[in-house]
Structure 1
Amino acid sequence: MEWMLMPYQRYFDFSGRSRRKEYWMFVLLSVIVSMISLALMFAGGLQGEMADGSAPGATFWLGVAILSIWGLGSIIPSIAVQVRRFHDQDRSGWMILLGFIPYVGGLIVLVFMCLEGTRGANRYGADPKDPSGASVFA
């Protein structure tokens, strides 16, 4: 759970590096919250349809509220953790803009998020896997 919440602890921190584990655990938490919200929305929508078909139930609006608050609260941390992932690979954080290329941009960013970071320190900071910089076989 610590890895899932780390981007929120570093809410507006666009400097430094982040491990793949931090990024993917944050994505997993986002998917879990989204699925729960969508399940609530689906359950509330069915409830409204079963009654008289006029309006969705309160559960639907609870799901909408949770999803909206979560989405708005997660915009900045999701951008920041992606920038730090690019920094871990010794690339500029501006590469996040590749996601705006139609059709293939999201795929390109996905591939970069899956790549391992550079070993040792780079221009963006110390290695998050080995912050002391100690080498076992030096």
Structure 2
Amino acid sequence: MPITLTIPEGILSPAAQAEAFAGLTAALLDVSQLSGNAFMTANVVGSIHTLPAGHVLAAGKPVDAAFVELKLPEVALATAEAKRAFIEKATDVVEKAAGGRIRREHIWSNIVYAPDGAWGIAGKSYANADLGESIARSAAPDNA
């Protein structure tokens, strides 16, 4: 479940970038009620994109901002409440990691969905039901 954090260079130190990404991962697992699920935890992946100063824009002008994009299977975070909860938590995480260098109103998030069967892990295509089964197997008492 890739998370992409895009920020301008110099806004977050390497330690703050790691803190932010760990926080975004925890936010997704928490909102999904999958904290501690080995399958899901191992498959929350992503990247941090740092762009040169002046290459992050709002209203057509350079700004110190952050963009959080979360890609999921269609069935994940399916409710409006879950989406709102992730976006709120993600914004809190980035705002805290930025330590005042990014204003809250300059943190944007979006969630995009992969169609059923278009999710790949380790070369295997997963349908939504397959993902659900893998997550459930990982949560089984003998796998804990």
TM-score (norm 1): 0.26
Greater fraction strand: 2
Greater fraction helix: 1
Task: Indicate the structure (1 or 2) with the bigger Cα radius of gyration.
Answer: 1
TM-score (norm 2): 0.25
